[in-house]
Structures are given as C-alpha cells and as structure tokens.
A = this chain, B = another copy of it.
Amino acid sequence: MAKEDKLYIGVDLGGTNILVGIVTQQGKVLATAKKKTKSDAGTEKIIDRVVATCMEALETAKLSLNDIQALGIGAPGVVDLKTGVVIEAVNLRWTQFPLAKSLKDKLKIPVAVDNDVNVGAWGEYKAGAGKKQDDLLAIFIGTGIGGGLILNGQLYNGAFGTAGEIGHTVVHANAPLGRRTLENTASRTAIVNLITSLVKANHPSIITKLCGGNLNNIRSKVIKQAIEEKDELVCQVVQEACHDIGIAAANMVTMLNIPCVVLGGGLTEAVGPKIIEWIRKSFDDTVYPSELRDCKIVEAALGDDAGLVGAALLAAERLKPYTSRQ
C-alpha cells in the first residue's frame, strides 16, 4: 500500500457473525478478523465483541487505532444515517440503539452506520463488480433477498432510510400474502423449502443422495452440484426463482434506467454463471424498452468482504478524516 493511503475499519455486523477488515481508501483489505456475534448475550456483549474483533484485525495488520481515520459499520436493520441510531434490528434484538455513539465512546474515532445490504452494495460499487458504473442495483440472494441502490454516484437510502428493499417487491400480484414477494419465492430459503417439499412428495431428484439422505443439509454447494449434474427438479426450481429475480431487476431498470445489476450472496457465488444466464433471460424478456437489454448483469466480486469493504469506504465518504482525539 502507498504510505499516504488513509486507513479505515469496516465492520459487517450480522446476526451470526461479526466480520472486520482494515481497509485502504482504495478498497484494499489489509487484514480481517471474525467472531461470532452471540446476539443472545445482550447489547453490551455484542458491542464488546465488535470492539474485540476490531482490535484483533488491527493487531493482525500491525496497526493501532491511531492509524485509523474512521470506522464504518453495516447493521442488519433500519438505521438513522444522521444519528447513527439503529432504529430496529430484529436479529440483534435492538430498537433505537445508538450504535455510532456506543462505538465512538469506546474507540474514540468517528463512526458511520448504514444498513448491512447498503454497505455491501457500496462495496461492490466502489471496489467490486460495479467499479466502473455510474449507477447500480445490487441484489444479494441469501436467507432473504436484500438490495441496494446507487443513483448518481450516491447510495440511495430514501427519505425513510430503507430504499432498495427489492426482496419485498411483489412479482406475483395474485398469490396469497406470504407468497407474493421476490423474497417469498426466490430467496435461498424459498428455493430449499420448495425442493424439500417436492422431494418429500416423491418427485425424483439426485439431491437426496447429494445431501447424504438428510434434506436438512441442502446448502448452496449441494444445489450447485445438482445443477451441474443437470438434475431436472433442482434446475427447474432454481430457474423459476431466477425468473422472478430477473423480473424484479427488470422492473427497477425499466423504472430507473440503471446500467448495471450486481448479483451477490451465497447461492450466486456457489452456482455462478448458470444463475446469471437464467436471470438474464427473464430480464431481457421483461425490461422496457428493449434497448435497456444493454444493462450489465454481473456477479458480485467481493464475496463476504463486500460488507466490510463497503462499510469502510462509506465511512471514508461520509466522515471527515480523524485529526484530533477528544
């Protein structure tokens, strides 16, 4: 790294894990650390563990807090950007928790807070697959489906701070509540549930063999394997999910003329090109006008680092460099 490169701490705070990275202003990750969140242990313990993970990453990088300009953190919930208060984070059992203040008090550096999916989108935009794009829609397919939106080179949070929630847009208007949204039909959870119920209803599939006879073991890798072996049932279920994702993405590109869609999350990473191909097909059938088929649809590039890189770079964007201590 160049000597003059400013350094930031990026934190991806999830319901299960805390991921921390020491990140240059160019988006290069110098060191990382990871701990379980242990969200059951209560707020104070969670904050202690975030701080401990930060210190571990600093130690690995042979740096101290004095070398750091600011910290950025992505939290799994609704966030008030201005105050750094987490309004609600169900996984962490937080309501109205002053996350920025709490970390600032302990670490004595400026802290920027945003939603976890937003920081992931920002990471892909600044240092990942969307690096050379003006605007960007990022879609992360996992337990749920998260989305982030970059418009005019800025993270678009919206007036209420929850913009970009593409998983909660409805693509099946006539389906019953609970089966109408993109997340309802196309998240990994939805895919695994549908595969499981079809197999239990005696539809033939090699997936039972691939997961060792235990349908509770259907992970992204198993799905990838089944697709590679052209298992008809798994291919069809995943393709139907991709159909819905392509439509939801096309709806947004139709509305906003976004030139690039980045697809991330565990399932996309595991299965890769085939998922992009299926989404592309449905996207092209839907987007209007047809010239918008020029929109790029690409795999995310940063994997699990997207959140911590994005959080660090968002802190760099939003906060003035740290110059004096209180």
Interface residues of chain A, those whose CB is within 8 Å of chain B, are 78, 134-135, 147, 149, 151, 156-166, 168-174, 177, 180-181, 243-244, 247, 250-252, 254-259, 285-286, 288-289, 291-292
Contact = CB atoms under 8 A, between A and B. Distances in A.
How many protomers of this protein does the assembly include?
2
Given A151-B151, A251-B251, A289-B78, A257 B160 contact: yes
A159 B257 contact: yes
Contacts of A173: 171-172, 243-244, 247
B286 A163 contact: no
11 contacts: A78-B289, A157-B257, A158-B258, A159-B259, A162-B289, A166-B255, A170-B286, A171-B171, A172-B172, A172-B174, A173-B244
Nearest to A244: B173
A157 B258 CA distance: 11
B149 A251 contact: no
B291 A170 contact: no
Nearest to A282: B173
10 A-B pairs with the lowest CB-CB distances in the bound complex, closest first: A158-B257, A168-B288, A169-B251, A171-B173, A160-B257, A159-B257, A163-B257, A170-B247, A173-B247, A168-B254
Contact of A177 (B151, B165, B285): B285
Contacts of A157: 257
A191 B66 CA distance: 66
Contact of A165 (B135, B171, B258, B288): B288
A285 B177 CA distance: 8
Contacts of A134: 159
B255 A165 contact: yes
Nearest to A88: B289
A281 to B, nearest CB: 13
A164 B255 contact: yes
Given A151-B151, A289-B78, A255 B161 contact: no
